[in-house]
Structure 1
Amino acid sequence: MDKPGGRADAATNEGSTAIPNTGRRSAPRLRVSLPARLISIEGNQPCVLMNLSRSGAQVAVLEAIRVGEGAVLRCGSLEVFGDVIRSDFGLNAIRFEEEISDAQVLDIRHYYETFEDRERRSLIDTARKWVTGDSDDDRPI
């Protein structure tokens, strides 16, 4: 059943994985803070994915990208092309060429929720290998 304003109530769609939309935006935002890569004609640079929706993303970068320039955003399992539509003090808004699916947004949400634990386990594993002298590296010390 539609709610006022033409929005469907996601809670009444049994089995639906749709993300409910609230507010004035065309798509709900997932707020995160994840390391990512932004690849453009200007180069390949690390960035931080600040938020994500089906239609776009906001990323923080050290070197701003020009408005109108195309770029590929890579984060976790996500790899998507879009155009920079706003660039303010290191924050860039990207509109995706094609909307991503709700499942892709939810995948990034899961990636975000498990990121800290994966990083902690990796650090412990690296420290353990260093202490025990177990190294995948054959270089002399």
Structure 2
Amino acid sequence: MKVEVNNIGKYKFLFVNNKLWMSNDENEQLYTNEAISKCKGNVLIVGYGIGLIYNKLKEINYLKKITIVEISKDVIKKVGVKIRENDELIINDFLKNKFEEKYETILLDIWLDWSEKSYKEIFLPSYKKEEKILEKNGIIWAWGEHEMRRFHENK
């Protein structure tokens, strides 16, 4: 896996295998602010990326613990991750990882596109897994969820 982080002006861009994976541009920040505003309790972030979500969440004092699951050691190395003392970083495939805790908030951002393959192999299985580790009345937020569902469920 080839991972690059490029700084262009005040923004960071993460490329994985020469494809733009994510950035911290204004659109990404606006979109993730919605999720951040809903977070409570123990939080699970699936997909670290450039740390946009985590770096905002770690400033919120009322969150109990933030657990990050990132599949790629290369992403972690290139981006450089600094986590708080009580938080946890797990390098593993979210779908294969065994969780002992339940979470009040789960934030999911692990697919590159809205392809049929991403929908069937990542999106749907991720939701099934999340439902098992989500506290009652918990919140799931997924990048592009509404668009992904509309695109595939209205065919």
Give the TM-score band, short-chain normalised: under 0.3
TM-score, with normalisation over the residues of structure 2? Answer: 0.24
Bigger helix fraction: 2
TM-score, with normalisation over the residues of structure 1? Answer: 0.26
- Work out which of the two has the higher radius of gyration on C-alpha atoms and give 1 or 2: 1
Bigger strand fraction: 1
